[in-house]
């Protein structure tokens, strides 16, 4: 797929995804720097997860998919789709950082790339899918 053949929604997803990825990475890195020695990596990851997913939900909902109203069920679906990347964060990051001794920031960047791919697939097909979108052809 080239940018010329991408739908406006896909273009918006790329921009919002870039914003969410960058803000999530920098929030995570800052909180790790500030709080790791105080509350530990797992607590930092939990805090980052809630902050970053809520920000991502709001920007993806409002800018990309533009679904009407507020739906707690939709918010929960967003979290459900994000469960795989959350698991990656909680399982892979401590292994990369604590077991393998990798740099925390490099490890976060690697896991972030995986999260972007998984997020697009899940949110475009499950979280914000409406009856109208179910009949659209995949591009």
Tokens encoding 52? 């970053």
Q: The pTM is what?
A: 0.68
Q: What is the CA 61 to chain-centroid distance, rounded? A: 13
Minimum mean pLDDT range among 31-40, 48-57, 98-107, 130-139:
130-139
Average pLDDT for residues 52-65, to the nearest whole number? Answer: 93
- pLDDT at position 48: 93
Q: Is residue 41 a contact partner of residue 97, using CB atoms and an 8 Å limit?
A: yes
Count the neighbouring beta carbons within 10 Å of the beta carbon of residue 61: 22
The percentage of the chain sitting over the pLDDT mark of 90, rounded to a whole number, equals 46
User: CA 41 from chain center: how many Å?
Assistant: 19
More confident residue, 10 or 137: 10
Distance CA 47, CA 52 (A): 9
């Amino acid at each position: 797929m080239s940018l010329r053949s991408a739908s406006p929604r896909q273009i918006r997803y790329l921009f919002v995804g870039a914003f969410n990825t960058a803000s999530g990475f920098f929030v995570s890195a800052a909180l790790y720097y500030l709080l790791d020695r105080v509350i530990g990596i797992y607590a930092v990851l939990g805090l980052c997860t809630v902050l970053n997913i809520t920000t991502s939900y709001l920007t993806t909902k409002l800018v990309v998919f533009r679904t009407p109203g507020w739906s707690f069920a939709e918010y929960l679906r967003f979290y459900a789709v994000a469960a795989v990347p959350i698991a990656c964060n909680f399982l892979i990051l401590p292994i990369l950082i604590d077991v393998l001794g990798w740099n925390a920031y490099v490890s976060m960047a690697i896991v972030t790339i995986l999260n972007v791919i998984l997020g697009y697939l899940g949110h475009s097909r499950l979280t914000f899918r409406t009856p109208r979108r179910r009949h659209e052809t995949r591009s």
